[in-house]
Amino acid sequence: MGRAYEPVDSPDETTVFPYHDLSPPTTADVYAARRIVDRHLPRTPLVRSESLSAEFDADVYLKREDTLPTGAFKIRGGVTLVAGLADEFRDPGVIAASTGNHGQSVAYAGRALDVPATVVVPEDANPSKVTAMERLGATVRFHGTDFDDARERAEALAAEEGYRYVHSANEPALVAGVGTAGLEVVEERPDVDYLFCPVGGGSSAAGYCLTTGALADATVIGAQSEAAPAMYRAWSEGHLDPCDRMETFAEGVATRVPFAMTTRVLRERLDDFRLVSDAAIERGLRDLLADERIVAEGASAAGLAAMRELRGDLRGETVVLPISGRNVASETLRRCIERSRAEKTGL
């Protein structure tokens, strides 16, 4: 195995190692990351939504990150980070904790760049995401009941076995890579007024703040489930304390622990942050499926739920809603279809 590293003092409740840099990336770093992303990934479409444009009396565009190879934006960060991996980690490889999309990004990057990848997931992880990680060549280990249990196990394995621990958010290269989506938005719609972004660990929202917010002066608004408000509390209250509430079905925004680096970016740059109900998230998921024929995860629908809270402010504006995560659990998708059918029939 590789050289063993001991954890160092961390500003949040997660583990960091000496090789972690907690300095937030800059907009210039996002441009540098783009050279890597463009070598490995296709540009994603920015498509006008006729149904949402009519609903909000606005020009609403969907940034279709679900068309990326793993179905989620995180792959941008995965390839950026692994492309710059120090030589000492190329043999032992990388390790990450994930409920699915972060793990798939690390697995994909590992396969593309010939680096071994291990992913620790909760015991009840979405089976389709686990299968996808394994098909990409990752070794999947199961541990604990939720993301944070899996994260703690991945951190321990990194210390014990010498893997390079790929943190979910405290990684400048990862956030810079994710931010390349925002550069594409600005190039296609430099007149963008609002962008609504779900927040789990905060890497996507931080990336859009550094690009769509900084370059187009767009208002960037974050959205998180009120049943898992860790990052919202960190942003609004100015601390990094864990939250004991984490009950949302939307796994992409389900975390109990706020992350230091992305919280810093969001506190400095995010214009607004909304907590939305799981019921509103599920409604958004159903509407994206029924009206757009998009199979989206709950995290994407959180952004739509936040848009609906600010409906009056959006009239006549140009609005972008990132769509990321087509890896919906079968049971969630089935429930949404059944409820949509019931609504239409009045049953």
pLDDT tens string, the chain, 347 residues long: the values are 567 789 999 999 999 999 999 999 999 999 999 999 999 999 999 999 999 999 999 999 999 999 999 999 999 999 999 999 999 999 999 999 998 789 999 999 999 999 999 999 999 888 888 999 999 999 999 999 988 899 899 999 999 999 999 999 999 999 999 999 999 999 999 999 999 999 999 999 999 999 999 999 999 999 999 988 999 999 999 999 998 877 777 766 767 889 999 999 999 999 999 999 999 999 999 999 889 988 887 788 999 999 999 999 999 999 999 998 776 666 766 776 676 666 656 65
CA distances from 2 to 77, 89, 164, 232 (A): 23, 7, 9, 37
Measure the CA–CA gap between 177 and 343, rounded to whole angstroms: 40
Concerning whether 74 is annotated as a catalytic residue, the answer is yes
Residue 275: its H or E element: strand 272-276
Measure the CA–CA gap between 125 and 288, rounded to whole angstroms: 24
Measure the CA–CA gap between 41 and 285, rounded to whole angstroms: 26
DSSP state of 211: I
Closest by CA to 231, choosing from 259, 250, 204, is: 259
Residue 344: its H or E element: helix 330-345
Can you give the pTM of this predicted structure?
0.92
Q: What pLDDT is recorded for position 156?
A: 94
Half-sphere exposure of residue 2, counting CA atoms within 13 Å on the CB side? 21
Q: What pLDDT is recorded for position 125?
A: 87
Q: Exactly one of 74, 98, 204, 225 is catalytic; which is it?
A: 74
Measure the CA–CA gap between 4 and 134, rounded to whole angstroms: 26
What backbone torsions phi and psi does residue 172 show, to the nearest 5 degrees?
Answer: -55, -40
Q: Which two tokens stand for residue 78?
A: 């995965």
Closest by CA to 46, choosing from 182, 198, 206, is: 182
Residues of the chain with CATH 3.40.50.1100: 27-73+173-345, 75-169
CATH code that applies to domain 75-169: 3.40.50.1100
The arrangement of secondary structure in 27-73+173-345, i.e. its CATH architecture, is 3-Layer(aba) Sandwich (3.40)
Measure the CA–CA gap between 196 and 274, rounded to whole angstroms: 10
Cβ–Cβ under 8 Å, residues 303 and 322:
yes
Q: What pLDDT is recorded for position 343?
A: 65
Q: How many CB atoms within 10 Å of residue 269?
A: 16
Measure the CA–CA gap between 254 and 251, rounded to whole angstroms: 5
Question: How wide is the angle at C-alpha 243 spanned by C-alphas 242 and 244, nearest 5°?
Answer: 120
Tokens 């920015």 correspond to what residue? 46
Q: Which two tokens stand for residue 220?
A: 């960037």
Class of residue 49 by CB neighbours under 10 A (exposed 0-12, middle 13-18, buried 19+): buried
